[in-house]
């Protein structure tokens, strides 16, 4: 997706060979025009898949997931990482290890918001090791719902996430695929 690549080139900051900072437009300050295009593009790629709901994880997945849900005309649901006073009743949970932050957390969704048989599109901002997407997929499957696909805004293709998700049989669509961050430069795969 050209606008996304342009933003990454112009405003992304390579912090190391592993980490790209995109705080200027994706996961701190958020560019609404870019997010709208992201939503339209995911909706186009997953058109005809009978998506009933878009699922993401707080915080940075919410903006692209919401715009995707808007474009598809379906609800957006986000898994919580923190206990919430209002998150009651039966919960669907998964343990997610963050390699970037080196902490494990439990993510949770109220079971009442995911129904058996629903077709769910998972959307997230980054794909690195694939832990977040795997945790979300586990939650979908606990509900008896189906993962219709996984939409990723920025995939770090040099990390193992895509391979893991593909091995598990999920369709992954990424809007920008980064081949390497070596030498402080972003090199795209395609």
Residue of the chain from 100, 115, 167, 182 that contacts ligand G4P (CB under 6 A): 100
Minimum CB distance to ligand G4P smaller for 14 or for 145 = 14
Write the CB contacts of 189 (distance below 8 Å, at least 6 apart in sequence).
157, 177, 178, 179
Minimum CB distance to ligand G4P smaller for 19 or for 189 = 19
CB of 104 to ligand G4P, least distance (A): 10
Q: Hey, which residues between 51 and 70 contact ligand G4P (CB under 6 A)?
A: 57, 59-61
Query: Does 161 help bind ligand G4P (rule: CB under 6 A)?
Result: yes
Which of 151, 155, 153, 149 shows the shortest CA–CA distance to 168?
149
- How many chain residues interact with ligand G4P (CB under 6 A)? 23
Residue of the chain from 4, 8, 20, 107 that contacts ligand G4P (CB under 6 A): 20
Interatomic CA distance for residues 50 and 119, integer angstroms? 7
Query: Does 127 help bind ligand G4P (rule: CB under 6 A)?
Result: yes
Interatomic CA distance for residues 183 and 71, integer angstroms? 38
Which of 95, 100, 108, 101 shows the shortest CA–CA distance to 134?
95
Query: Does 171 help bind ligand G4P (rule: CB under 6 A)?
Result: no
Per CB under 6 A, residues contacting ligand G4P are: 19-22, 27, 57, 59-61, 98-101, 125-132, 156, 161
């Amino acid at each position: 997706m050209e606008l996304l690549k342009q933003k990454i080139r112009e405003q992304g900051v390579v912090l190391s060979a592993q980490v790209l900072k995109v705080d200027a437009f994706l996961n701190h300050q958020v560019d609404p025009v870019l997010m709208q295009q992201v939503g339209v593009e995911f909706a186009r790629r997953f058109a005809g898949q009978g998506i009933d709901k878009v699922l993401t994880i707080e915080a940075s997945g919410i903006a692209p997931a919401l715009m995707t849900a808007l474009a598809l005309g379906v609800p957006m649901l986000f898994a919580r990482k923190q206990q919430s006073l209002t998150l009651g009743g039966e919960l669907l949970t998964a343990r997610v290890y963050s390699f970037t932050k080196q902490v494990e957390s439990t993510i949770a969704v109220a079971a009442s918001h995911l129904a058996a048989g629903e077709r769910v599109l998972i959307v997230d901002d980054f794909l690195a090791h694939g832990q977040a997407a795997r945790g979300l997929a586990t939650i979908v499957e606990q509900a008896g719902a189906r993962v219709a696909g996984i939409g990723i805004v920025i995939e770090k293709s040099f990390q193992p996430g895509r391979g893991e998700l593909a091995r598990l049989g999920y369709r992954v669509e990424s809007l920008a695929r980064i081949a390497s961050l070596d030498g402080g430069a972003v090199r795209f795969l395609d």
